[in-house]
Amino acid sequence: MHQPRQRHDPPVRRRPSRVRPGWRVQMQQFVQTGRVISAILLAVVLFLTVHMVWSDQYLVRNVIVNGAKVLTEQRINQMVSLHGMSIWSVNPERVADTIQKSPYVDAVSVQVTLPDTVAVSVREHQSDIRWKIGDRYLMVDALGTVMGSDDGVVLTDTLVINDDSGAVLTDTMRYITDTMRYGVDAGAIRMVQVLALRLPVEAKLVVTRYGWDLRRGVTLNTVDGRLILLGDETRFDEKLQLLRDLSERQVEYVFVDLRPLTPYYRFDIPPQALLATATVVTDTLSAPENQP
């Protein structure tokens, strides 16, 4: 009987263990593993990261302040030094915590926008305002628009500006204030809003009365009997700085006129500076215990 023929395959030649593939084979294997693409992507990411961290394009150039009257961009930058800082170094929470320490601030939020902008939204402590003519209190807004009369006025935490111009509300005028809108001095309103925040903190002055008339502008009476003539908004920051300097130097005075280019103070109140028709009443009072 014929037996099947056995198949004999040729022996497989194995590469000696010490023999390594050539550089072409190694390169082909390296490319096939995807390491080349990964290396290129890593290099690109590192380049972009270094560029974004060190490029002048990502330095803070714009500090946008919203909702603030007292804390301007300059004042906020003095508190946290944002200008010129790397945008990547700005910690919004830390910046907000620093600004929140200001006695003027009620609430604050900070938002960083690439490549160079930091937006600060501030809500300052504010009080309602009433414009007082005679025995009538008029509700006014920040633009000086009279919204109507407040017959049930409550003076708690309310800023009252006493109109010392001698104006009298006639029956016709009372009708107008109750039915229509007209304006009072918006500049005086802006000044008093800022003064109410800054004077107790910066000049250690407790104001008991805010007054206004066409001739003298805004006037202040303090709890310790001082009379201060501020005038209008001209050189407003300079006037506040002068009051701060007087406080820091502990200068004794009872009268100061900040309206002229050369301000002066006196140890007495000249008769012409006194009101002829209005007496000093405590319409607005910042309690001493609230002083910083």
**Total-model pTM:** 0.60
Six-digit token string for 16? 């000696």
Of 18-22, 134-138, 210-214, 267-271, give the lowest mean pLDDT range: 18-22
Instruction: Say yes or no: 143 and 271 in one domain.
Output: yes
Q: Is the pLDDT confidence value at 271 over 90? A: no
Instruction: Say yes or no: 189 and 246 in one domain.
Output: yes
Cα–Cα distance measured from residue 238 to residue 230, given in angstroms and rounded to the nearest whole number: 11
- pLDDT score recorded for residue 290: 32
Q: How many CB atoms lie under 10 A from the CB of residue 252?
A: 8
Identify the CATH number of the domain in which residue 73 sits: 3.10.20.310
Query: Residue 184: which of 210, 225, 213 has the closest Cα?
Result: 213
Instruction: Say yes or no: 147 and 252 in one domain.
Output: yes
Query: Residue 77: which of 115, 110, 106, 52 has the closest Cα?
Result: 110
Domain boundaries, position 41: 23-51
In-domain check, residue 140? yes
Model confidence band, residue 230 (pLDDT cutoffs 50, 70, 90): very high
* Domain stops at, among 124, 149, 166: 124
Instruction: Say yes or no: 240 and 167 in one domain.
Output: yes
Instruction: Say yes or no: 34 and 156 in one domain.
Output: no
* Domain stops at, among 35, 51, 67: 51
In-domain check, residue 3? no
Indicate the SS3 state at residue 287.
coil
Residue listed under structure tokens 């250690």 = 204
Give 227's strand partners. Answer: 221, 255
Instruction: Say yes or no: 72 and 217 in one domain.
Output: no
Instruction: Say yes or no: 95 and 63 in one domain.
Output: yes
Q: Which of 23-27, 71-75, 84-88, 241-245 has the highest mean pLDDT?
A: 241-245
Please state the length of the chain: 292
**Tens digit of pLDDT for each residue in 29-62?**
665 666 667 767 776 767 666 666 656 788 888 8
Identify the CATH number of the domain in which residue 174 sits: 3.40.50
Cα–Cα distance measured from residue 129 to residue 280, given in angstroms and rounded to the nearest whole number: 18
Q: How many CB atoms lie under 10 A from the CB of residue 68?
A: 20
In-domain check, residue 258? yes
User: How many domains are contained in the chain?
Assistant: 3
- pLDDT score recorded for residue 215: 87
In-domain check, residue 15? no
Instruction: Say yes or no: 146 and 196 in one domain.
Output: yes
DSSP symbols for 49-93 = HHHHHH-GGGB--EEEEES-SSS-HHHHHHHH--TTSBGGG--HH
Instruction: Say yes or no: 112 and 196 in one domain.
Output: no
**Tens digit of pLDDT for each residue in 153-193?**
666 678 899 998 877 766 555 555 554 455 688 899 999 99
In-domain check, residue 16? no
* Domain stops at, among 107, 124, 141: 124
Q: How many CA atoms lie within 13 A of 179 on its CB side?
A: 6
Instruction: Say yes or no: 73 and 43 in one domain.
Output: no
Instruction: Say yes or no: 95 and 169 in one domain.
Output: no
Instruction: Say yes or no: 174 and 81 in one domain.
Output: no
